[in-house]
Amino acid sequence: MMGAPGSNLAEKCDVARTVKLRKGLPVRIITSGTQWLPPRELKLWRESHERLTASIEGAKLIIAEESDHMIPMRQPALIVSVVAEVVRLAK
């Protein structure tokens, strides 16, 4: 997202901020649980996920305790279980 040619992360964030989610939508935000950035940046990364979670009614933050940034590669079973939970709750 950040490194793609012509990518502008600030513009993408501005667009994302305008999205309105339907009430009651089951939202799960999965974030890394291991060190993969310098401490200051990792703190900001986590805080951004905490703020995002807090901004969505009913959202839950999931910490992938055994993963760095590549959660689907490190903990695929976690991804599957969270997606299954969201699908079940959405029905």
Among 77, 52, 75, 53, CA closest to 64: 75
Q: What is the pLDDT, as a whole number, of residue 5?
A: 64
Higher pLDDT, 78 or 6: 78
Q: What is the pLDDT, as a whole number, of residue 7?
A: 72
**pLDDT tens digit string along 6-64?**
677 778 778 878 888 888 899 999 999 999 889 899 999 899 999 999 989 999 999 99
Q: What is the pLDDT, as a whole number, of residue 2?
A: 56
Instruction: Tell me if 50 sits within 8 A of 61, measured CB to CB.
Output: yes
Give the start-to-end residue ranges of the domains of the chain.
26-90
